[in-house]
Structure 1
Amino acid sequence: MHTVNTLKTVKLLLFLLLLILPCAASANQQDYIEATGIANIVDGRRDTARETALQNAFRRAVEQAVGVLVQSESVVNDFELIKDKICSQSAGYIKKYTISRESFDGDVCTVEIKALVSRVKLEKGLDSHGLLMKKMGKPRIVMLLSEQNATQEKPSFWWGGNSGDIGVAENTIVTKLLQKEFNFVDRDTILSHLKQEGLEGKLYANISNDAAVRILSSGDAEVAIIGQAYAKAGNTAAGTNFRACQATVSARAINTDNGEVLASFTSTATVPHVNAAAGGAQALQKAAGECAEKLQKQILERWKRRVTRSGVVKLVASGLSYAELKEFTALIKERVDEVEDVYERGFSGQTAKLDLEVTGSAKDLAATMSNMEFNGGVVKITSLSANALELQINTK
């Protein structure tokens, strides 16, 4: 009896295994992309033509993978440019491949492959070539970095009206971030707004996050990099004319509409030099270079979390009574798919301040909530920025 039961169990397991294996094989095959590459045979060099056709097949496989990934992200602007940048390095994204068929017909070589494209590497490549920037709406950045070299008596900073030159540290950081396709705003535009507000020359070198949010309220930049860079020179080493020139660059990146800190880092560097000013400049450049690398990694990581997970959008809603607030928050949760949760942060008069945990952007929220009806009134969007939204509930 025991033997009979064992045989039944074995038969059942074999049956289940036969059901599972085709599904597993099908799922595995779905990861592979079929692609065909062709190349002309020149001077009878079949080996060269075969390699060229294989590389062409790699490119076509990666093109297909990029197309699926980009469309799934709903980001198609400048798609051809991004695709060309990625596909020019297509072999680096192929995890493994098999050649299904190869043939030589006249002067043409054809290679058919099944390739497994690394999604992880592809996502990193797309992000490094600007896809992440496009997902975030290409945020504009402004630098608020004061600088004081070893021979200067006080720091220079453009928002104080005492310097029109770009400092060594700022120039280094901007250059590094431009190479990563960050987008910078012309500070002259912001300076003109400061003049209009009568603030030129009245601000300090060591600017606070709140002050930065206030002076950038015109909406000319979505991100500000704030900080200080300074250098000092020590005494000359015994028996030489060299002195240790040390620089410190401390910077943080914030959202200009809500003051949220995206990144922060402090770096130091020491350069021996006979000239204090030249040595200080070199030390500033070295420290700023390291600072730029750390900041860009932190900012990109924060933005990546923002587009793949939930983030916070600050909402100011006017035209509500306190009794209506609970009903309004319930409506948001019910009607706006992007909203995961709502947190009340304050109420005054007929204005409520809310934090919305969302999976989309403030722009998505504005599109969904605009003209939404509530208690006989209509929602009108009055202000919109990258991470904040203001609305007014108007009576019909």
Structure 2
Amino acid sequence: MASESQQVYLPHDEQRWVQEIPKNTLRTVFERDRARVLHSSALRRLGAKTQVVAPDTDDFVRTRLTHSLEVAQIGRELGRTLGCDPDVVDTACLAHDLGHPPFGHNGESMLNELSHGIGGFEGNAQTLRLLTRLESKVLTADGGSAGLNLTRASLDASAKYPWTAPNAPLINGSRTSKFGAYTDDLPVFEWLRRGAPEGKSCIEAQVMDLADDISYSVHDVEDAIVAGHVQLKWLTNQDQRNRVLGYTQQWYLPGVATAEIDAALHRLEATDVWVRHADGSRASMAALKDMTSQLIGRFCQSAVAATQSIYGTGRLARYAGDVVVPHETLLEIAVMKGLATTFVMTTDHRQPIYQRQKDILSELVAVLSATGDAHLETMFAADWRAANDDDARLRVVIDQIASLTDVSALALHERLVGVERTLL
């Protein structure tokens, strides 16, 4: 059973790493891919992993799971409008954060430091590892794990950075630290990239990436406002405004003039939906939700119009085109990211928390590395025993820790290290 949009996908795109005989024909292969990710344990764990504000601090704030669901909704509609198979995009969006460890980007940075000698840690490479190895769904002929055994198109759509660390491209003269596959996952990575232009993301991956950017740029600001970290009226204070412009430039727009960033902020402030003050009332919460919705629509519509102005309104899939985002829209998205960065991620009271999180992960790696398979979950313990050397065993330890939620990482640390501490 093939959907109309799927007709632009070839049998090559529908292949799986391990050949399967479908048990029924009521769903397309891409619908099956989406269902496999949706029912995965890795997706469920995202419900207790930090997005920006820790999950246990407020009932309202987004977790990695709710963020992924919102990215999937944005990406599915955006992809369908451009002619991609919506289930391929949906699958990539649901999967895009599966590899993120406890404590958000702070945890990712620490695990990368701790695993530097074995190729580092990267959330996107860990996602590929989960999809093709760590999640249990399909076995290879020799009894190994093929993970969820997704189709080539869905795996490729999940590859935000389609290169290994040694082959990472230069950006502004420096090699980017982002990459999509570890060395020991090269066989499946090379399989999924077969026939793809080197270093180029398919359009479905580009849609996923844009949906991710749009989602967290807008939703993180909404969360920050509701949590009481910021009111948009504060931007009338020049010192506060300069902080936002500075962080936006430093983190997201190096090389872009401050005046150009300020102009993007002025454009957002000039919209009819900009909520300068939210007092917690139903009226202000409704206005805030409308601002979120309208800004998402603003950014998506801008990208659709720009893309279709070049490629027309026909179907775009795989490598038939690229998502085009106008420069002004990119600046506006970056400004929204800069707002959350300024008032949530870089505040002084967060710094001791970040350091304690790093200490917890460092101590967990040390303890698990020193105790063999004694404290590893059953599947990871089997991986540890099958490992050929210390480097491979360290990778298993990293896999185990990366799978933990914020809460389970704290609980395991308390049990193994024996020191009770609370993150406030």
TM range (shorter): under 0.3
Higher helix share: 2
Higher strand share: 1
Q: Using CA pairs below 8 Å that are at least 6 residues apart, which structure has the higher relative contact order? A: 2
Structure number with larger C-alpha Rg: 1
Normalising by structure 2, we get a TM-score of: 0.21
